[in-house]
Structure 1
Amino acid sequence: MLRRPLNILIVLFIAFASIFLWEKLHSFNPFRMEDTKTTHNIVLKEMSALGKIELANFTFRDVVEQELKFTYLPNPKAVLIVQGNAIGCIDLTKVRAEDVATKDDTLVVHLPDPELCHYSIDHQHSRIYDTQYAFMNEQALLNEAYSSAQEKIKQSALDMGILEQTRKNANLVLKPILENISGKKVVLKYQLRATLDRPK
């Protein structure tokens, strides 16, 4: 009498075991991908090709009064109306492979900090308004005035937030370019420290 229930239990066990194995083997695929890994060399190459991308341009107009001091002779003076500009940029050639990461459908790019990459006098739109007692010292007087005006342009650009404006413009200009290249949503991040490349 005991053998009959035992036989039933064995049959049930074999049936459940067969169903379990069937489900496991049915879904088993030795070629199934567990995960995907994507490299973004094309993004890095495109950014390197862009190089230093200019994202902010500040234009300045200044009236410069310059004077050279002499002990015995009258002091040469000059008044100049100077126009110049300062350019904020991001150097994309500094972006390395580890600065680009993918999370789901999003591309995260860690960019180098914005730089004040250029500032200069626009001599074509600058002019000498007046000079006094210049004579033989006129060139030295004008050189000193333009040099002082150029340093003022640099400092004014930094004081007026050209680096922060460059950062903001990156989201408006650079982000759509990278999204078009990668086909993904792009998030731009920056280093924690501030840097300034000083032109020579």
Structure 2
Amino acid sequence: MFRGLRSILIIFFIVIGSIFLWEKGKSLNPFSQQEIRTTHNMVLKEMSALGKIELANFTFRDVVEQELKFNYLPNPKAILIVQGNAIGCIDLTKVKAEDVATKDDTLIVHLPDPELCHYSIDHKNSRIYDTQYAFMNEQTLLNEAYSRAQDKIKESALEMGILEQTKKNADLVLKPILEKISGKKVVLQYQLRATLDKPK
């Protein structure tokens, strides 16, 4: 009888010890779940997918008078009515993970500077109004006129505040998109100065 009781006690302690070691072992198991951490990069991925988002489009119409001067021949002249446009955009592919921060229910996004990403002549809606003494120099005359007109489009767009308008339009267009994606209130912030891309 004593042996039987001892056997029962031994089995009891073995079971209790096994349970204790099992529970203790789970806490030491490197593969056991200790804590749940969730990181969302949805906003950043969506922004990268958008790429360069065009936010401001300025259209210009200009009357260009171009003249080539010669010493002994009449000066070739041309008058062109030129139409063109300039586009302000923000390159969202430049946004990095550290540029996106969350504070309570607000998402703070540090955007890259707005860019004058495109400016060009709309040749389809431009026309030659008049030429004089052009003859063999007509193509040179017109090419120079269009080149000067394109430079003027860039200059005028910057003077008329296309980069600032791009920022304002980002609040109207981009901000609601990010708020819908993130489900949070969005605050857009920028760097101190704007940059320009080469014309395309």
Structure 1 length-normalised TM: 0.80
Q: Which amino acid in the other structure matches residue 132 of structure 1? A: Q
Q: Which runs of 5+ in 1 are unaligned?
A: 1-30
Question: Aligned with 1:147: secondary structure?
Answer: helix
Over 3 Å counting, the alpha-carbon distance change for 1:74 and 1:37 in structure 2 is farther
Task: State the 1:136 CA deviation.
Answer: 0.6
| Aligned 8 A contact 2:80 2:128 in 1 | yes
Number of aligned pairs? 168
Q: Give the equivalent residue in structure 2 for 1:60.
A: 60
Q: Which amino acid in the other structure matches residue 84 of structure 1? A: G
Question: Aligned with 1:173: secondary structure?
Answer: helix
Q: Give the equivalent residue in structure 1 for 2:196.
A: 196
Question: Aligned with 2:196: secondary structure?
Answer: coil
| Aligned 8 A contact 2:118 2:197 in 1 | no
Deviations 1:106-156 (A, max 9, x none): 100000010000000001110000000000110000000000000000000
Q: Give the equivalent residue in structure 2 for 1:95.
A: 95
| Aligned 8 A contact 2:120 2:199 in 1 | no
Q: Give the equivalent residue in structure 2 for 1:108.
A: 108
Over 3 Å counting, the alpha-carbon distance change for 1:38 and 1:105 in structure 2 is farther
Percent of pairs with identical residues: 87
- The whole-number CA distance in structure 2 between the counterparts of 1:192 and 1:89 is 16
Over 3 Å counting, the alpha-carbon distance change for 1:38 and 1:89 in structure 2 is farther
- The whole-number CA distance in structure 2 between the counterparts of 1:186 and 1:37 is 23
Q: Give the equivalent residue in structure 2 for 1:154.
A: 154
Task: State the 1:93 CA deviation.
Answer: 0.3
Q: Give the equivalent residue in structure 2 for 1:142.
A: 142
| Aligned 8 A contact 1:40 1:100 in 2 | no
Over 3 Å counting, the alpha-carbon distance change for 1:179 and 1:42 in structure 2 is same
Deviations 1:37-93 (A, max 9, x none): 653411111111100000000000000000011111111000000000000000000
Q: Give the equivalent residue in structure 2 for 1:45.
A: 45
Report the RMSD for the aligned CA atoms in angstroms.
1.8
